[in-house]
Structure 1
Amino acid sequence: MAVAPVLPPTLLASHAAVRAVASRVAASRPIRVAGDDHLHPPQVASLRRGDWVKLICGASFEDAADVRNLSLVYTLAGVDCIDCAADASVVGAVNEGIDVAASIVPTVQRPWVMVSVNDDCRDLHFRKAEFDPEDCPPNCSKPCEKVCPADAISLKRVVVGGEHAHSDPLSDKLEGGVIMQRCYGCGRCLSVCPYDRISAMSYIRDPTMTAELLKRSDVDAIEIHTTGKGTDMFSILWSSLGESINSVKLVAVSLPNAGESTIDFMNAIHTIMQSYREGYNLWQLDGRPMSGDIGRGATRETVSFAVDLTSMSDRPQGFYQLAGGTNLYTVDSLKNAGLFKATTLPGTTTTEKFGSQQALIGGIAYGGYARKIIGRILRKIPVQLGRMRIEDHPGYLLEALQEAMSLVGPVKGYPSPPK
């Protein structure tokens, strides 16, 4: 494992404003004396209260520099978990970001590190866009580049014959294409290409490599993405992971809304997971995948999914968390549905079979929107010596932390800091 970074005293001193803002996180952290919360890890206590927050770096997003900086910022903002690609270098980047956050604010709570895998190549989270730029007309307006939320497409027009040549523009060409480590499979470029030259390349994470990752001391959880179209692939993946699954503290299953068959599917999955003995399980309700950065309407599907499932008494045990389309409007939408930190169904006084001490919805995972609001700031920072570390720029780190807290704060219960 990498040695935890130690920042120079002069750099640490420059982060006084960051520490002052981050101290609001520690000051608002609940004193765990209610019920039996003290018997659980703080991350699980958050799930039980309904104020768990997870950062989704992206199941296919492998830009280690961005992942590192995002992890640093959102650790300071108080997230409970950071979800990333099941790749050793990406896991290392997450932990480095967490370590730097702890060196700036020693009282920060270390989030759990979760790796994401899939049981089916049809899962939208596990694909990359691909195309050959030489097949693109040189006079293309490049809508794919404009629409990409991850800045994962870069195209440059090259003049055939040299920079000063006076050639026919139609004989020029485009260079570049998809930056694979940044593409996370949202698919928005597929529909805007006027020449239908972009395709999607799907893949499945190697379960053998994943099993080795789960044995690491700096990996705490796994999330298995499944399409809801059958349990055979899930069962195969589960068997492939073997005893390594019992090395983690939490197993999450991310699934879409499959309508009336959803509960039966979840219960079948829950039966398969009976061999998991060591920790907790969580259901991620993936309403509208990879759409949180689009706008207010994106969050409706995941809240609707939550409303449907919480009304069903035969749903499997475990914690429930929202994802897919989550953004700054999600908390208000949950409140309007009567589900924000609620332990009983809206309009009833019925105690749930899971116990009155557990929230119906344990929390919210933020992905595209969380990355977008910090990405605006990261793009301002110059790359130095081939690397970009946000802690080297205290002003930008403070700005990023304020943005992150404006998203995490409404769930956690601390007010957004003034800007």
Structure 2
Amino acid sequence: MALSLSCCHATLHLQQHQVASRNNSSKNLDNVRSLVNRIGIASVQSSSLQSLQNGNWVKLICGASFEDVVDIRNLSLVYTLAGVDCIDCAADASVVSAVNEGIQAARGIIGVRRPWVMISVNDDQDLHFRKAEFDPGNCPIDCSRPCEIVCPANAISLQEEALKELSQVAGVSGILKGGVITERCYGCGRCSPVCPYDKINLVTYVRDAATTVKLIKRGDVDALEIHTNGRQTTYFQELWDKLGDSSKYLRLVAVSLPNIGRDLTVSTMKTMFSIMESQLHCLNLWQLDGRPMSGDIGRGATRETIAFAAQLARTNDRPPGFLQLAGGTNFHTVDGLKKERLFQSTSTIDSWKGLEFNANTKWRCQY
């Protein structure tokens, strides 16, 4: 199987000025249609498969735990028009439907190709599969609320509410209401360490395999991504066995794993491939998660990602499968890859660079 290295890995979350809302979607779709007709969009000639084989694969990551269906639908609409090859989302039925709604809306505006839809699952506890949780009623009313400030997804909202019976709580004029907006929280974990009163917990979860199989067999999912810690394969084996022959409904199975050292990483990859091989009815990809959940941190984060990619790209005894960068990919990544001679320039990438300035979003990962 051909090997390809792609750095075009995007993760983002809408902050303000959403493309559309449930109440005025028709009006805003008309606005998008008018904009597309006025400025045009670049035509993408290659299929998603060809992009993967050519090494210019572009994947939009909505987030393995991000479940705000309105934002996800809007992101899917915009990036389908922009020409992404794949949209990665949470393995949740409503989220998958939102992605497909966005894709359908985009294709109703102009005849663009349909990107693959990928769902993300985990075989054990993982940073990508957790939610922040706290009781705002236990927060001091005079707290400076750093959790609200630091959250990159606007997933924490606190409001002060006056107490009706002030006599019941001497010296207290009100309480805080609100808290974590669960569907928007994607588990970055930044709120917990900044809480001055240590009130915030991070609750992990594992996606249910049976539910995942049902989603795959719906017919509107094209790819599956399995997040694993790479240090043991027991849970990976258990998950793969539960998935059965569901890969025959897919075009791609990706495995996302962190860097645990070149030799151990390659050994683990070989073991996982041997587990998958008999029931792998499609292409496979290894997502190299250099520094998980760190795409917006800066140049330092992407160095680990590039080093991980360089190790694997130059290793001859790795198992079959495409390679993709993740964890620390941002606008510093391309320069770093060029220095390692691992980046091939394409017109597609050049045209995407402009979206960094035009999209009304807050980037967590770029290219």
Q: 1:61 aligns with which of 58, 62, 66?
A: 66
**Contact 1:137 / 1:170 at 8 angstroms: preserved in 2?**
no
- Which residue number in structure 2 is paired with residue 81 of structure 1? 86
Shift of 1:25: 3.4
Distance 1:118 1:22, change over 3 A: farther
SS of 1:82's equivalent?
strand
Distance 1:265 1:153, change over 3 A: same
**Contact 1:212 / 1:244 at 8 angstroms: preserved in 2?**
no
Q: 1:288 aligns with which of 285, 288, 291?
A: 291
Given the two structures, how large is their TM-score scaled by the length of structure 2? Answer: 0.84
Shift of 1:134: 1.2
The code of the aligned residue for 1:249 comes to R
5+ long unaligned stretches in structure 1: 1-6, 31-41, 343-362, 377-402, 409-419
Q: 1:52 aligns with which of 50, 54, 57?
A: 57
SS of 1:237's equivalent?
helix
Whether 1:235 aligns to 2:237 is: yes
- Which residue number in structure 2 is paired with residue 119 of structure 1? 123
Shift of 1:290: 1.8
State which drifts further: 290-299 or 243-252: 290-299
Shift of 1:245: 2.2
**Contact 1:139 / 1:170 at 8 angstroms: preserved in 2?**
no
Shift of 1:21: 4.3
State the distance in 2 between where 1:182 and 1:319 align: 31
Q: 2:189 aligns with which of 167, 187, 190?
A: 187
Q: 1:250 aligns with which of 229, 232, 252?
A: 252
RMSD value, Cα: 2.7
State which drifts further: 58-67 or 11-20: 11-20
Shift of 1:161: 2.9
SS of 1:282's equivalent?
strand
**Contact 2:41 / 2:82 at 8 angstroms: preserved in 1?**
no
Shift of 1:319: 0.3
Shift of 1:328: 2.1
Shift of 1:10: 11
- Which residue number in structure 2 is paired with residue 375 of structure 1? 361
Matches within 5 A, 1:196-207: 196-207=198-209
Shift of 1:325: 1.6
Shift of 1:244: 1.5
State the distance in 1 between where 2:307 and 2:32 align: 45
Shift of 1:212: 0.5
- Which residue number in structure 1 is paired with residue 268 of structure 2? 265
**Contact 2:189 / 2:202 at 8 angstroms: preserved in 1?**
yes
Runs of 4+ aligned residues of structure 1 deviating over 6 Å after TM superposition are 7-10
- Which residue number in structure 1 is paired with residue 145 of structure 2? 142
Distance 1:219 1:21, change over 3 A: farther
- Which residue number in structure 1 is paired with residue 177 of structure 2? 175
Whether 1:212 aligns to 2:214 is: yes
SS of 1:15's equivalent?
helix
- Which residue number in structure 2 is paired with residue 35 of structure 1? none
State the distance in 2 between where 1:244 and 1:10 align: 38
**Contact 1:22 / 1:76 at 8 angstroms: preserved in 2?**
no
- Size of the aligned set, in residue pairs, is 331
Distance 1:214 1:11, change over 3 A: closer
Tell me which protein shows more strand as a share of its residues. 2
Matches within 5 A, 1:316-355: 316-341=319-344
**Contact 1:285 / 1:323 at 8 angstroms: preserved in 2?**
yes
Distance 1:154 1:169, change over 3 A: farther
Distance 1:175 1:49, change over 3 A: same
State the distance in 2 between where 1:283 and 1:258 align: 14
- Which residue number in structure 1 is paired with residue 95 of structure 2? 90
Given the two structures, how large is their TM-score scaled by the length of structure 1? Answer: 0.74
Identical pairs, percent: 57
5+ long unaligned stretches in structure 2: 1-24
Distance 1:104 1:251, change over 3 A: same
**Cα-to-partner distance string for 1:25-61 (whole Å, 9 max, x where unaligned):** 33xx35xxxxxxxxxxx21211221100000100000
Distance 1:140 1:242, change over 3 A: same
**Contact 1:61 / 1:181 at 8 angstroms: preserved in 2?**
yes
The code of the aligned residue for 1:193 comes to C
State the distance in 2 between where 1:103 and 1:137 align: 50
State the distance in 1 between where 2:258 and 2:34 align: 43
